Amino acid sequence: MIPVTGFNGQTVAVLGLGRSGLSAARALREGGAQALCWDDNPAARAAAEAEGFETRDLSAQGGFDGVARLVVSPGIPHLYPAPNPVIAAAWEAGVPVDNDIGLFFRSFGSGAWEMFDQPPKVVAVTGSNGKSTTSALIHHILQSAGRGSQLAGNIGRGVLDIEPPEEGGVVVLELSSYQTDLARALTPDVAVFTNLSPDHLDRHGGLGGYFAAKRRLFAEGGPDRCVIGVDEAEGRYLANQLAEGAVDDRLIRVSAARKLSGPGWDVFARKGFLTEWRKGRQVASIDLRQVRGLPGAHNHQNACAAYAAARALGVAPRVIEAAFHSFEGLPHRSQIVADAGGVVYVNDSKATNVDAALKALQAFPRIRWICGGLMKEGGLEALAPGFDHVAKAYVIGREAAGFALGLAGVEAEVCTDMDTAVARAMADAEPGETVLLAPAAASFDQYDNFEQRGDDFAARVKARLAG
What is the arithmetic mean of pLDDT over 62-82?
A: 95
Q: Give the architecture (CATH level 2) of 335-466.
A: Alpha-Beta Complex (3.90)
Rounded Cα gap, residues 136 and 152, in angstroms = 9
What is the arithmetic mean of pLDDT over 38-57?
A: 96
131 is in an annotated binding site: yes
127 is in an annotated binding site: yes
Residue-wise pLDDT tens digits, 388-428 = 999 999 999 999 999 999 999 999 999 999 999 999 999 99
What pLDDT does 156 receive? 76
DSSP bridge pairs for 416:
396
What is the arithmetic mean of pLDDT over 296-324?
A: 96
H-helix or E-strand spanning residue 463 = helix 450-466
Residue-wise pLDDT tens digits, 434-455 = 999 999 999 999 999 999 999 9
129 is in an annotated binding site: yes
Percent of the chain with pLDDT over 70: 100
Q: Check if the beta carbon of residue 236 is closer than 8 Å to that of residue 230.
A: yes
What pLDDT does 114 receive? 82
DSSP bridge pairs for 275:
268, 285
Per DSSP, the three-state class of 82 is coil
Residue-wise pLDDT tens digits, 311-338 = 999 999 999 999 999 998 888 988 999 9
Same-fold call for 11-98 versus 335-466: no
Rounded Cα gap, residues 90 and 67, in angstroms = 9
Using the predicted structure, report yes or no on whether residue 208 has a pLDDT greater than 90. Answer: yes
Q: Parse the chain into domains and list their residue ranges.
A: 11-98, 103-326, 335-466
Using the predicted structure, report yes or no on whether residue 234 has a pLDDT greater than 80. Answer: yes
Residue-wise pLDDT tens digits, 254-272 = 999 999 988 999 999 999 9
Rounded Cα gap, residues 238 and 278, in angstroms = 20
132 is in an annotated binding site: yes
Rounded Cα gap, residues 328 and 336, in angstroms = 9
- List the CATH code of the domain at 103-326: 3.40.1190.10
Using the predicted structure, report yes or no on whether residue 110 has a pLDDT greater than 80. Answer: no
Rounded Cα gap, residues 390 and 380, in angstroms = 15
pTM of the model: 0.85
Q: Give the architecture (CATH level 2) of 11-98.
A: 3-Layer(aba) Sandwich (3.40)
pLDDT, the chain, mean: 94
